[in-house]
Amino acid sequence: MTDPSASPVRLHVVSGKGGTGKTTVATAMALALAARGQRVLLAEVEGRQGISQVLDVAPLGTEERTVVTDPSGGEVVGLSVDAKTALLEYLQKFYKLGRAGSVLEKVGAVDFATTIAPGVRDVLLIGRVYEAVGRVTKGAKKRPAYDAVVLDAPPTGRIGRFLNVNSEVSEVARVGPVRNQADSITRLLQSPMTAVHLVTLLEEMPVQETKDAIDELGGLSLRVGSVVANGVRQPLVADEDAEAVADQDPTVRAALEEALTAVEVTARPAIVAGLLAEGADHVDRVRLQAEQHDVLGELDVPVRVLPHLPDGVESGGLRLLADHLDEQGAI
């Protein structure tokens, strides 16, 4: 493992509007850290098995297991945090219930406790991640068990409530171990050891939700490390030609028909019309991307840009995203 002091951030919390690719970005971030020779825990808390799908590995369980090894010596360890398991571990740690915990599970008390009080459920989920951040190795020379932890967190619409554990718990526990745990978690989340990364597409709704999330997190004294603009398409049309392509100008049609004929493709009207429409859509999307990138540029938060992957994350696409994140200083 590398010296974790190279960066003060030990916990990377990744959120974003649904459909922006936050799980993909969280996984790429973990790979980028592992490529530095670090031991990284990549955890999810929503039970969707998104990480295993992105990495194309067996479903993650409640036990930590290595899912990726890097030639540098680094590794990514996967974990799916489950509220029920976390509660049983919590009860054993603080109350030494032993077999009584199994009895509670059999009679349905555990399911009841993890659903009736959402605030407590979130404390349990984050608490498992908190424990991993603070865990140290055994032996005389103790050091962090993980150089970094990457959390694939709930979407931006719920991220504030999820991370605001003190407020959520205050309604059900003002004193005692649960409250103490919430206080400790909050200190970690508000410290320089934690950075929240918000994933967005360069579209109006995701960008607006990202701005709202930044305001909400700031009000909770939680630091946003970066905004990650995902799936950005590179312009394929020169600036001087963009207007004509967007308007499907007759000169563009004529040039397209000539180009198709040159490569011995019959310039049927349907083919030409389809290609013209795709060209116009592309120009419109690139313009929208530029507008929304300017909106993000007005924020006091670093903006990282990840390219659109036509073939998805297969064939090295995930490593490419990891390299982009590393090169842009996202980690």
CATH no. for residue 80?
A: 3.40.50.300
Please indicate, yes or no, whether residues 109 and 28 belong to a single structural domain of this protein.
yes
* pLDDT > 70 fraction of the chain, expressed in percent and rounded: 84
Of the listed ranges 11-15, 24-28, 96-100, the least confidently predicted one is 96-100
Does 114 score more than 60 pLDDT? Answer: no
- Cα–Cα nearest to 295, from 199, 197, 204: 204
* Mean of all residue pLDDT scores within the chain: 87
- The pLDDT value recorded for residue 147 is 96
268: Cβ contacts below 8 Å, ≥ 6 apart: none
Q: What is the number of structural domains in the chain?
A: 2
- The pLDDT value recorded for residue 7 is 74
What residues make up the domain containing 116?
Answer: 4-233+308-327
Does 113 score more than 60 pLDDT? Answer: no
d(CA 231, CA 95): 47
Please indicate, yes or no, whether residues 183 and 257 belong to a single structural domain of this protein.
no
Please indicate, yes or no, whether residues 134 and 261 belong to a single structural domain of this protein.
no
Only one residue has tokens 């490419």, namely 320
Please indicate, yes or no, whether residues 316 and 263 belong to a single structural domain of this protein.
no
Q: Give a yes or no: residue 288 inside a domain.
A: yes
Q: Give a yes or no: residue 303 inside a domain.
A: no
- The pLDDT value recorded for residue 122 is 81
Please indicate, yes or no, whether residues 60 and 130 belong to a single structural domain of this protein.
yes
Q: Give a yes or no: residue 177 inside a domain.
A: yes
Only one residue has tokens 């649904």, namely 18
Whether 135 and 145 have beta carbons less than 8 Å apart is answered as: yes
Does 10 score more than 90 pLDDT? Answer: yes
233: Cβ contacts below 8 Å, ≥ 6 apart: 282, 285, 286, 289, 307, 308
Q: Copy the structure tokens of residue 253.
A: 């049609």
Does 100 score more than 50 pLDDT? Answer: no
Whether 131 and 9 have beta carbons less than 8 Å apart is answered as: no
Whether 151 and 127 have beta carbons less than 8 Å apart is answered as: no
Please indicate, yes or no, whether residues 197 and 160 belong to a single structural domain of this protein.
yes
Whether 32 and 322 have beta carbons less than 8 Å apart is answered as: yes
Please indicate, yes or no, whether residues 159 and 294 belong to a single structural domain of this protein.
no
DSSP state of 130: H
Please indicate, yes or no, whether residues 92 and 170 belong to a single structural domain of this protein.
yes
Please indicate, yes or no, whether residues 14 and 139 belong to a single structural domain of this protein.
yes
Taking each helix axis from N to C end, the angle separating 99-106 and 109-116, rounded to the nearest 10 degrees, works out to: 70
- The pLDDT value recorded for residue 110 is 45
Please indicate, yes or no, whether residues 172 and 252 belong to a single structural domain of this protein.
no
Cα 60 to Cα 72, 77, 160: the distances in Å are 24, 10, 26
Please indicate, yes or no, whether residues 91 and 148 belong to a single structural domain of this protein.
yes
Does 71 score more than 90 pLDDT? Answer: yes
Confidence of residue 172 (pLDDT cuts 50, 70, 90): low
The more confidently predicted of residues 112 and 235 is 235
Question: Which alpha helices (DSSP H) does the chain contain, by range?
Answer: 22-34, 50-55, 83-95, 99-106, 109-116, 118-134, 156-163, 165-170, 177-189, 204-219, 239-246, 250-262, 269-297, 317-327
- The pLDDT value recorded for residue 315 is 73
- Average pLDDT for residues 251-264, to the nearest whole number? 93
- The pLDDT value recorded for residue 119 is 64
